[in-house]
Amino acid sequence: MAWLRTLARSSRSLLSSKPSPWSVSGFHSTATAAGGGGFFSGLGSTEAGKDKPRLVVLGTGWAGCRLMKGIDTKLYDVVCISPRNHMVFTPLLASTCVGTLEFRSVAEPVGRIQPSISSAPGSYFFLARCASIDPDSHTVHCETVTDGSVKDTLEPWKFKVSYDKLVIASGAEASTFGIRGVREHAIFLREVHHAQEIRRKLLLNLMLSDVPGISEEEKRRLLHCVVIGGGPTGVEFSGELSDFIIRDVHERYSHVKDYIHVTLIEANEILSSFDVRLRTYATKQLTKSGVRLVRGIVKDVQPEKIILNDGTEVPYGLLVWSTGVGPSPFISSLQFPKSPGGRIGVDEWLRIPSVQDVFAIGDCSGFLESTGRPVLPALAQVAERQGKYLAGLLNQVCRAGGGHANRAANLELGAPFVYRHLGSMATVGRYKALVDLRQSKEAKGLSLAGFISWFIWRSAYLTRVISWRNRFYVAINWATTFVFGRDISRI
């Protein structure tokens, strides 16, 4: 703090009549701050009887956030480690790309989901990536996240955190199936910054295609939006995009409105997890809105075109890639037994059986083959249910005296985790959606399509948005879009 004192001495305050109250009180309060000016390389282990047990959560997706929301912070200190400080409400992410919703409306800061994290003395959020786990010493090794888009960012630094309980909820990664050029030229749709990139590129292409001197062919290429993958994300994004084209591009970019097209490429069937009747309905609706549905397999991705397996070349201006997820390098690097598909293997209580006090939930985990249960699909619904279940389990373990490290081995854990599918929803644009309430692909059950489904879709998501603030904003955004159209400023 020497520099601050020098600054105070050598500079005359503008308010020369009396000294700045800040410069006096400020020094006193800061000199007594915790840590005493020394260095510390992490959070050491807790002491039973003196400290609360420490729960370390890796990740801020559906699983991790639902877990933190349910944890009783009178029992545990919660330390969350994640490269992003917010949860993304993924089902509404596609809507933000075209301006139906604001980016901020679908992002929920962790501190709003679990307020203790920003105020309780032993709870923290660290903007960092977990590099490795040492289950023997109950420690995770981390590295702060740097960000190339901000000026003068620091070199990442490393630190360790001891845990009493560890929950791995760091999610999965978009799969590229080893196809060349996907990471370089396609945009995924999993994070808010992906949606921002898609939006910037779409608006840029709309404006560039209007500039004089551009050929008809180039104009058509720039405005060709290609979506790879016919799962719910790909279908919803195609639907939103065609809504945007029908309602907003026709009015606000009328010079180029006849040049913009959407193509959805899928190797098998679109929405394969849905009822056959709903699939047919979706196909009809999308085609009606101008989305071109193509069955094909991508072989190669180049800067301005993709090559399909049959040799067809498809020029594109915007390429969105949403073909499902696979294990991330971090998950693959962990030395725990894996479930089919390379996820971290867990038992019926979501524990990693080979070690003490470590759990895994969400897209990064799957039941071990030995449990005789199938690996659950990578859905928000599964992740959320697991987070909720595990929060209850951990609260119960702590109340039974097993909160601290190595104290839970002999505890009775109660009912194992059982997943009951509540159904699937997807919107296909133009105030139409699908709702499939069957419990599995084979089961019989209710399925709906059309405006009523769309209304259910919107209402369901509105009630599931976590904070009242964002619930309010999502409703306001929808109303504004309805009245004024979508926003097209490219910022």
Region 179-218 residues binding its own copies, contact defined as CB under 8 A: 184-185, 187, 192-193, 196-197, 200-201, 203-204, 207-208, 210-217
DSSP bridge pairs for 186: none
Q: Which of residues 319-338 bind its own copies (CB under 8 A)?
A: none
Q: Which of 346, 388, 336, 387 is nearest to 366 (CA)?
A: 346
Instruction: Pick from 74, 180, 252, 277 the residue near its own copies by CB under 8 A.
Output: 252
Q: Which of residues 16-35 bind its own copies (CB under 8 A)?
A: 20-23, 26, 29-30, 33, 35
| Cα torsion through 199, 200, 202, 208, rounded to 10 | 160
Instruction: Pick from 51, 75, 104, 247 the residue near its own copies by CB under 8 A.
Output: 104
Strands 305-308 vs 298-301: parallel, antiparallel or unpaired: antiparallel
Instruction: Pick from 15, 47, 49, 444 the residue near its own copies by CB under 8 A.
Output: 15
Q: Does 412 bind its own copies (CB under 8 A)?
A: no
Strand, coil or helix: 264: strand
In which residue are the tokens 């962790």 written? Answer: 110
Shortest distance in whole angstroms from residue 2 CB to its own copies: 8
450: left (phi over 0), alpha (psi -120 to 50) or beta: left
Instruction: Pick from 70, 315, 353, 423 the residue near its own copies by CB under 8 A.
Output: 315
Shortest distance in whole angstroms from residue 481 CB to its own copies: 10
Token digits for 405?
């490290």
CA separation for the pair 69, 213 (Å, rounded): 55
In which residue are the tokens 């309430």 written? Answer: 437
| Residue 54 CB-density burial (10 A; 0-12 exposed, 13-18 middle, 19+ buried) | buried
Which string of b and e fits 158-170 if b means at least 16 CB within 10 Å? Answer: ebebbbbbbbbbb
Query: Stretches 129-137, 163-171, 379-387, 475-483: which one binds its own copies (CB under 8 A)?
Result: 475-483
Within a 10 A sphere around the Cβ of 149, how many other Cβ atoms?
Answer: 6
Q: Does 108 bind its own copies (CB under 8 A)?
A: yes
Instruction: Pick from 69, 84, 141, 299 the residue near its own copies by CB under 8 A.
Output: 84
Q: Which of residues 254-293 bind its own copies (CB under 8 A)?
A: 254-255, 258-259, 261, 263, 266, 269-270, 283-284, 287-288, 290-293
Token digits for 277?
């009747």
Shortest distance in whole angstroms from residue 19 CB to its own copies: 10
Q: Which of 126, 360, 411 is nearest to 403 (CA)?
A: 411
Shortest distance in whole angstroms from residue 213 CB to its own copies: 4
DSSP state of 474: H
Q: Which uninterrupted H or E stretch holds 394?
A: helix 380-399
Query: Stretches 50-58, 294-302, 338-346, 442-450: which one binds its own copies (CB under 8 A)?
Result: 294-302
CB-nearer residue toward its own copies: 215 or 440: 215
Q: Does 413 bind its own copies (CB under 8 A)?
A: no
Q: Which of residues 123-152 bind its own copies (CB under 8 A)?
A: 124-128, 144, 147, 149-152
Q: Does 244 bind its own copies (CB under 8 A)?
A: no
Instruction: Pick from 103, 419, 431, 478 the residue near its own copies by CB under 8 A.
Output: 103
